[in-house]
């Protein structure tokens, strides 16, 4: 059984202004940034992107802050402190808490645990339970099929697109294993288990622009705290028994909305789900 959450967005007119403000903030940051070659293309696609926040599990022995280049740091910090970006992050966290409180609390508690041990660690967005955030910069964010294998295996990644595009024509979120494409409007949010399922987005019309914010947490953070803030081999050498919350899949038992026998999801009127026979060609 697979679980996704189509969280949509607040329906108030004020949130439309928030989306426009966040889009403008990311566009302004793009103009100020000097991107390195490895930030212009990755296994996620050929577009400019930066990852910021706390990570673990990529050869590092402990949770650490991802490197921020000195010339980029002021631009990114201003972006993460932008009031409209913070409003979007707050909604993402509220939606997460409202639909999957146990899983939300697991993310919150494990992030707090590593931050309590190392005061230099902090998430990009103040108050977020997600340890990391990726800013995918405009104008042409088209992700290719990929899985985010370093994220918590059964956890969630939030995706919030920004920009100027017609979501009924293009920029659909595609989940191949589910044979599903989702019309994905600007400013709406979807949660997916990005480590477990392949995902990408389709192209959009000429003259349109798309950027996005994704928030996630590395599985290595949860493993680090489970073994008493040390590596597994160090814990085993010291005869420390790791916490085994992963055997129970904490948080998975609270997904109850059912679309059909293959897909559990919650959705709003923002979205139209297209089965494979109706997928766009792009």
Calculate mean pLDDT across residues 69-78.
98
pTM over 0.75: yes
Distance set, CA 81 to CA 89, 152, 243 (Å):
11, 26, 35
What is the chain's alpha carbon radius of gyration, rounded to the nearest angstrom?
19
The range of the structural domain enclosing residue 21 comes to 2-278
The single-letter DSSP state of residue 178 is: G
Closest to 60 (Cα-Cα) out of 221, 246, 216, 215: 221
- Total domains in the chain come to 1
d(CA 217, CA 120): 17
Pairing of strands 2-8, 132-136: unpaired
For residues 93 and 97, give the distance between their C-alpha atoms in angstroms, rounded to a whole number: 6
Q: What stretch of H or E contains 199?
A: none
CB-facing half-sphere around the CA of 71: CA atoms within 13 A: 7
Per DSSP, 177 falls in state G
Residue whose C-alpha is closest to residue 204's, from 136, 270, 140, 279: 140
- Summarised one tens digit per residue, pLDDT across range 142-188 is 999 999 999 988 889 999 999 999 999 999 999 998 888 999 999 99
Distance, CA of 158 to CA of 140 (rounded, Å): 19
Where does the pLDDT of residue 263 fall: very low under 50, low under 70, confident under 90, or very high at 90 and above?
A: very low
Q: Residue 254 has what pLDDT? A: 45
The pLDDT value recorded for residue 3 is: 76
Pick 132 or 57 by higher pLDDT: 132
The span from the CA of 12 to the CA of 22, in Å, is 16
pLDDT-based confidence at residue 259 (cuts at 50, 70, 90): very low
Please report, rounded to a whole number, the percentage of residues in the chain having pLDDT higher than 70.
80
Cβ contact 183:150 at 8 Å: no
Question: How far apart are the C-alpha atoms of 45 and 35, rounded to whole Å?
Answer: 15
Question: What local confidence, expressed as pLDDT, does residue 203 receive?
Answer: 97
What is the rounded distance in angstroms from the CA atom of residue 143 to the CA atom of residue 199? 8
Cα distance between residue 253 and residue 233, in whole Å = 31
Mean pLDDT of the chain: 86
Query: Taking 50 as the threshold, does the pLDDT of residue 257 lie above it?
Result: no
How many Å separate Cα 277 from the centre of its chain? 28
276 has pLDDT over 90 = no
Buried-state track 169-188, b at ≥16 Cβ within 10 A, e below 16: ebbbbbbeebebbbbbbbbb
The CATH number covering residue 154 comes to: 2.60.120.620
Structure-block tokens of residue 171 = 């920029």
Structure tokens at 261: 């026998």
Q: What angle do CA 267, 102, 173 make, to 5 degrees?
A: 30
33 SS3 class: coil
């Amino acid at each position: 059984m697979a679980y996704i959450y189509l969280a949509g967005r607040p329906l108030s007119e004020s949130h439309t202004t928030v989306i426009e403000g966040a889009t403008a903030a990311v566009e302004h940051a793009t103009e100020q940034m000097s991107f390195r070659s490895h930030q212009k293309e990755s296994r996620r696609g050929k577009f400019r992107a930066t990852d910021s926040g706390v990570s673990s599990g990529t050869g590092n022995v402990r949770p650490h802050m991802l490197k921020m280049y000195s010339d980029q740091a002021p631009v990114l910090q201003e972006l993460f402190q932008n009031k409209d970006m913070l409003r979007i992050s707050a909604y993402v966290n509220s939606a997460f808490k409202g639909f999957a409180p146990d899983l939300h609390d697991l993310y919150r508690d494990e992030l707090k645990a590593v931050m309590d041990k190392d005061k230099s660690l902090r998430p990009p967005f103040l108050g977020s339970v997600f340890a990391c955030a990726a800013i995918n910069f405009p104008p042409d964010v088209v992700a290719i099929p990929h899985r985010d294998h370093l994220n918590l295996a059964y956890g969630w990644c939030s995706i919030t697109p920004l920009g100027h595009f017609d979501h009924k024509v293009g920029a659909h979120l595609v989940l191949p294993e589910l044979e599903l494409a989702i019309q994905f409007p600007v400013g709406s949010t979807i949660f997916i288990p990005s480590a477990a399922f392949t995902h990408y987005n389709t192209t959009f019309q000429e003259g349109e622009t798309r950027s996005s914010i994704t928030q996630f947490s590395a599985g290595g953070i949860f493993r680090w705290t489970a073994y008493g803030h040390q590596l597994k081999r160090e814990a085993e050498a010291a005869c420390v028994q790791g916490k085994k919350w992963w055997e129970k899949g904490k948080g998975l038992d609270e997904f109850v909305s059912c679309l059909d026998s293959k897909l559990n999801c919650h959705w709003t009127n923002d979205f139209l789900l297209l089965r494979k026979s109706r997928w766009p060609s792009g």
